[in-house]
Structure 1
Amino acid sequence: MPKSLLSLFISFFIILQSSCSPKTSEDANEVYRLWTGEKPSKSIQVLKGKYWQSGHFTKEYIMFIELHAPKNWIQEFIVQNKLKPATEAIVLPTDAPPWFKPTSSYKVWEPSDFSQGSAYYVDSANSQVMFYEIQL
């Protein structure tokens, strides 16, 4: 095998292997960055988070996050993501972290189109949200 072809094969194998590694984090700000692709703005206080992403190129992930955000950010999030009030009781997933316990003061939102169980909990009085998002 020519040396340049061997180098190309090794490079391809290294890239392939590194792209297949899952990503996990429980660092709140890193979870926000992995979820959104950017750092939180100064107006958003990320309190807690848990994130898992498969090593597949299709970006399969499960994310739990708790944050304080301005009311206009929350409203914009609801509109941009086409969320609707949940019509049925939402059951928390069994793999939810111990801190993910939204109370009855949270209004529950869900995707208006296809959903795999994502739920968005909003406490408007405190500008606090807890999101569970799943994309498999």
Structure 2
Amino acid sequence: MTAVTRRRPRSRQAAPAVRAPRLNGRRLAPYLFVVPALLLFAVFKLYPIGWSFLLSLHKTVQGVDTFVGLDNYTRLVHDPLFWTALQNTAVILVVPHRPYDRPAPGHAPARSAPPAGTEDGTGPAAEQRVKHKAEHLTKGWA
């Protein structure tokens, strides 16, 4: 007796999914999103820094560039004005600033309470404001 094997009917298989391009087993899309930011950084930050360094290696006299190498930097290190400027900059960076919510000595706090007797809009300060407004409004009419 021979065994009859029945074939299973073929089911429709889904089309293979389109796979994202890969770079060394990693997806490439995240890197492509970063490329524009890196290009902008290179154009607006790295290029000017590099160009400034190259310019610092030259000396321009009456429109003529001559390569001087690191002579400009040795001149800078021996200049006392440079060290004074560097010291002043360090002081500005290191000395802590007063917090904005603390008043300077001798000054009123930023959020001070109104003077006594003026909480309800009465007292000498309120009378002076009303008098000032009245003078301002009637100026030129008398």
TM-score interval, normalised by the smaller of the two chains: under 0.3
Pick the structure with greater CA Rg: 2
More strand by share: 1
Name the structure, 1 or 2, with higher relative contact order (CA <8 Å, separation 6+): 1
More helix by share: 2
Q: TM-score, normalised by structure 1?
A: 0.21
